[in-house]
Every structure is written in structure tokens, then in C-alpha cells.
Amino acid sequence: MNNENIYSHFHPDEHRFVDKAAEWVEKAEQHQAKLTDFLDPRQQFIVESLVNRSQDVQVRFDGGHEQAERKRALIAPDYRVLDDEEMGIRLIAVTSLDDKLKELDHSDYMGSILALGMKRDKIGDIHVSDTGCHFLVAEEVADYMRLHLQQVHRVHVQTELLPLEKLQASVVKLEEMNLSVASMRLDGIVSDVYHLSRAKILVPIKAGRCKVNWKQEEDSSRALKPGDVVSLQGFGRFKVLEVEGVTKKGRFRVKIGKYA
């Protein structure tokens, strides 16, 4: 597989992952299956794109539940039946008798998990509720996580392994807001969503700290469209829900959903 030809389709910062994915595909062509760590949607797209270039390789994605965002990939020769293959995903439940548990959010759990020396790639989706948290992990680190995760943001917690079918998936909460913008440019919409000046928004975008649909985006003039998911490091992420129309003055009425 000629990686130089592939590179033209991806951002330079993605080339290292492209190399890794291309190697997985090549090994599958040589009859060696590969079970990856958890991949974000953009990485899944890259893997699927490379697999589709080979007639002898197939891929299965699984994140532990149907609506999973982060998924492991099983890349294998096309003659293998993958439906019943073990994907190495385990479910850990976090609970506590402390009433402060209900005040914890996604970032609190993520911070405590990573503080144990755990790589983000080993962690799947994290589902937070008032009664605790269910999160998915790679099988190879599940026991370590269960034994060592004893505190989340100063709240003492208990953990246990549960069957995947016991997962209590949290409903994605979006805080809706309506904007009136001169154009659908990335910098203008991000500026309005986070109440920052256009000048201050340009700095993180140019520095590569903004992603659109999980792909790094440095072009501040890029036009957004409904369905696009935008994340800005340190500020969170939002989704363009709908363009509701154009005002008499030619401005766009846009509905945004900020992830809680």
C-alpha cells in the first residue's frame, strides 16, 4: 500500500495514524488479524477507508453498545466470520454512598481514569448519571481499573465489572441555543457559541486545537453545515443542529446544541 498516495486525503497530523492503520491492513492481507484499541469516529473512518482499498480484508467495529461513539476495530482476512468474535470490551460500574456523586460530570471521571496512568485509547464511552457512572474499557486493563479506581474528584467510589447487557447508557444532553450569524464560517459560529472575540478564536484554530467531525481543522473560513460536530480544546464541543432560515438582512438563523 503506497502511503504517499493515501496521505493526500488526510491532514498531516493524521499521517502517523494512517501509517499504523495501513500496517494493520497489510498484516490482515498476510492472514494476521488485529484488534485495535478504542478509536474515535474519525479514526474509524480512516481505518474503513484503508480496508476498502483491499479486496482481501474486512473490518468489524464494536463499542459495547449500538450507539457507541468510540469503538474497537477488528481487522481480519475476508474469509473469517467476525460476528461472533470476542471484541475485548468490558463494562465497569462506579457507585458511591457519597451524595456528592451526583455532582460529578464526564470530565471528573475521565480525569480520575487518566490519573491512574491509563491511556485514553483503552477507554470507550463514559456514561454518567446521578447514581454513578458506567464506562467501557479494553479487557486487558479492566481488572486494573476496577482495583485502582477508588476516588473520583475527592469522592470515594466502589467499582464492579458488569455484563455488557447491563450497560445504562446516558442520554446525550444538548443545551440548545439560537444564533443569528453573518455566515456559516467556522470562526464566526465558534466565536458566538463561546462568547469570544473572532481574534481570540483564531489563535486556537490556527494552533490546531479545533476539530470538525473529529478531524483537525485549521481553516477558520470553513463553512459549517447541519450535523457537523465542532470541538475546541478547553471549551467543549457543540453540534450544528439546523439552519432555520435567512433573515431579511441576509443573516443565517442557526440552532446549535452544546454538549453538557
Do the beta carbons of residue 134 and residue 127 sit within 8 Å?
A: yes
pLDDT (average), residues 77-105: 93
Q: What are 253's strand-pairing partners?
A: 180, 245
Do the beta carbons of residue 110 and residue 126 sit within 8 Å?
A: yes
Tell me how many degrees the CA angle 234-235-241 measures, rounded to the nearest 5: 145
Question: Which of 192, 203, 170 minimizes the C-alpha distance to 253?
Answer: 192
In sequence order, the 6+-apart residues with CB closer than 8 A to the CB of 138 are 37, 38, 72, 88, 89, 90, 122, 123, 124
Do the beta carbons of residue 36 and residue 19 sit within 8 Å?
A: no
CA 132/CA 162 separation, integer angstroms: 14
pLDDT at 2: 56
Query: By percentage, how much of the chain surpasses pLDDT 70?
Result: 98
Residue 177 pLDDT class (50, 70, 90 cuts)? very high
pLDDT at 172: 78
pLDDT (average), residues 129-153: 95
3-state secondary structure of 165: helix
Dihedral pair phi/psi, residue 176, rounded to 5° = -80, 140
pLDDT (average), residues 124-144: 95
pTM of the model: 0.82
Locus of grid cell 495514524:
17
Radius of gyration of the chain (CA): 21
**198-250 pLDDT per residue, tens:** 899 999 999 999 999 999 999 999 999 999 999 998 898 999 999 999 988 88
CA 30/CA 54 separation, integer angstroms: 12
How many other C-beta atoms can be found within 10 angstroms of the C-beta atom of residue 239? 18
pLDDT at 4: 61
pLDDT (average), residues 146-152: 95
Do the beta carbons of residue 253 and residue 244 sit within 8 Å?
A: yes
CA 7/CA 19 separation, integer angstroms: 9
Sorted by where each starts, the structural domains of the chain and their CATH numbers stand as 3-77 (3.30.1370.160), 89-166 (3.30.70.330), 174-259 (3.10.290.10)
Residue 186 pLDDT class (50, 70, 90 cuts)? very high
Q: Is the pLDDT of residue 161 over 80?
A: yes
